[in-house]
A and B are shown apart, each in its own frame.
Chain A
Amino acid sequence: MILDRLAREVEALIFASEKPLSIEQLCEYTGSGEDSIHQALDRLNRAFLDNQHALTIVEVAGGFRIATDREFGDVVSQLFEGRKPGKLSRAALETMAVIAYSQPCTRIAIESIRGVNCDSAIRTLLERDMIRISGRMETPGRPLLYSTTRAFLEYFGLSNLDHLPRFDEIEELLGMSSSEMEERDLFGTGEE
């Protein structure tokens, strides 16, 4: 498969860029429309696949990047030994989940959902740059509000917040009284 000029331009741009390039930037630098860029990206990825490259182009945190294949995780990880942070604990992941879906939210809100103290989980997430303090709630005590960061999207390979797994009902659920909730099983899961 011979790649066209546009696809190769896109490849060159993504490779050379210091930062992930957004679709708008790719359009601007190549002088093409969004659809053409998307198609060019598809052709590139097909070419990578056909030629059994260890790379693909992915969209993470609103930008396109060249990514290595999962298969080579072990080999590549040697480059970053000792520097790469460990995986998040369950407490941190649960806290992360609550913040991701109900941001901006207070510590109290997180704790009322998880039913346990979340101080250390929040601290870990702040240190790892997964969340940030995005303001204060204008209620007595003016508690801090937490929101997710771009590092969060990058870490979990999300292109943007809309790409979080869909749980449309969460917002509804959070604001719903217990009696309202009785009436329906929101997730169709019923039992564990």
Chain B
Amino acid sequence: MKEKTVSSKSYRIELEAFEGPLDLLLYLLRRDEIDIYDIPVAHVADQFLNYIRAARELDLDIASEYLVMAATLTKMKSKALLPTHRYDGEEEVDPGAELRRQLILYRTFRTIAEELQRSEETWTEIYTSPGERSRWSSDSIEIEPGQASLLDLLKALNSLTEGEAEIPSQRIQRTMLTISECIDTLEGRIVPGKTISFREIIGPEPARLRIVSYFITILELIRRGWISCHQAYPFSEIELQRTERWSVDS
């Protein structure tokens, strides 16, 4: 087990240095001196999968692109191993052609990127006047008409709102009204032998919390059988009366 970890260690460094599956494939081709126009699919697929396996052993996050490529290569490999039926007049389709196209295209752009990097190397050491360095010092980049991007507009908007006073805020204290508190209150209000309406209990212009709390309390008291209630018709006054059980139970 230990040996395995050591051997896969080199993969770790390398995998992180790759800019995706195409980059890794190009590396494999170069390492094994394989002609891009004559790729031994089975061999390359195995090599590629080795890397993925090694990365997986190390619990590395493998970008999904690598897995797609691994699947593609596996499919190509299995196709290459199976005997092909060729019908007259039908040309053999090379499954590697599309991959080859991708590799060549990517390789070209990678070469260009290297070229750009050389220019960058040179030009970061050159300072011009008047030059681009105003970009680094001030945030007021001059933008030609019609050239402003969404990002520029967002930047402009941000600079306007930056440092502006905070949105005025106010602390709102939440009042708590528990069921047991309500029961204690109702104890004195619902007196034996008298009828009281729900409206009377909650009082004039009650807060929503008060209505809800007392309503739930009423339901609770009904459940316990401590009060009886009566409502003549929907939305009419709810009349409440204490029962014998209240005094007995409590």
> Interface residues, chain A, CB within 8 Å of chain B?
15, 17-20, 58, 60, 65-70, 73-74, 76-77, 80, 83-85, 87-88, 90-91, 93-94, 96-98, 100-101, 112-117, 126-127, 129, 132-133, 149, 151, 154-158, 165, 167, 170, 173-174, 176-179, 181-182, 185-187, 189-192
Write the chain A residue with the least CB distance to B123. Answer: A157
A–B complex contacts, Cβ < 8 Å, 21 sampled: A20-B128, A68-B128, A74-B125, A83-B136, A87-B120, A91-B19, A93-B116, A93-B120, A96-B116, A97-B110, A100-B116, A101-B109, A114-B109, A115-B21, A116-B22, A132-B147, A149-B147, A156-B120, A177-B101, A182-B97, A191-B33
- Flag if B63 contacts A117 (CB, 8 Å): yes
- How long is the Cα–Cα vector from A176 to B104 in the complex, in angstroms? 12
- Interface membership of chain B positions 79-101, coded 1 if the CB is closer than 8 angstroms to chain A and 0 otherwise: 00000000000000010011011
- How long is the Cα–Cα vector from A149 to B148 in the complex, in angstroms? 11
- Flag if A68 contacts B137 (CB, 8 Å): no
Given A116-B19, A116-B20, A170-B108, A178-B97 contact (CB < 8 Å):
yes
Contacts of B65 in A (CB 8 A): 115-117
- Flag if B132 contacts A151 (CB, 8 Å): yes
- Within the complex, the shortest CB–CB distance from A40 to chain B, in Å, comes to 19
- Interface membership of chain B positions 200-228, coded 1 if the CB is closer than 8 angstroms to chain A and 0 otherwise: 00000000000000000000000000000
- Within the complex, the shortest CB–CB distance from A52 to chain B, in Å, comes to 17
- Flag if A70 contacts B35 (CB, 8 Å): no
For the complex, would chain B's binding face be called helix, strand, loop or mixed by DSSP majority? helix
Contacts of A98 in B (CB 8 A): 109
Write the chain A residue with the least CB distance to B136. Answer: A83
- Flag if B98 contacts A178 (CB, 8 Å): yes
Write the chain B residue with the least CB distance to A84. Answer: B136
Contacts of B109 in A (CB 8 A): 94, 97-98, 101, 113-114
- Within the complex, the shortest CB–CB distance from A49 to chain B, in Å, comes to 16
Contact of A94 among B98, B113, B151 (CB under 8 A): B113
Q: Which of B98, B112, B114, B117 has the most CB of A within 10 A?
A: B112
Given A115-B22, A156-B116, A157-B119, A132-B149 contact (CB < 8 Å):
yes
- Flag if B132 contacts A155 (CB, 8 Å): yes
- Flag if A165 contacts B20 (CB, 8 Å): no
- Flag if B151 contacts A126 (CB, 8 Å): yes
Q: Which of B106, B128, B149, B150 has the most CB of A within 10 A?
A: B128
B176 within 8 A of A: no
Contact of B137 among A20, A77, A83 (CB under 8 A): A83
Write the chain B residue with the least CB distance to A170. Answer: B108
- Flag if A73 contacts B126 (CB, 8 Å): yes
B30 within 8 A of A: yes
Contact of B126 among A20, A67, A181 (CB under 8 A): A67
- Interface membership of chain B positions 23-59, coded 1 if the CB is closer than 8 angstroms to chain A and 0 otherwise: 1001001100101110000000000000000000000
Contact of B127 among A67, A83, A170 (CB under 8 A): A67
- How long is the Cα–Cα vector from A100 to B136 in the complex, in angstroms? 23
Contacts of A133 in B (CB 8 A): 149-151
- How long is the Cα–Cα vector from A58 to B128 in the complex, in angstroms? 9
Write the chain B residue with the least CB distance to A93. Answer: B113
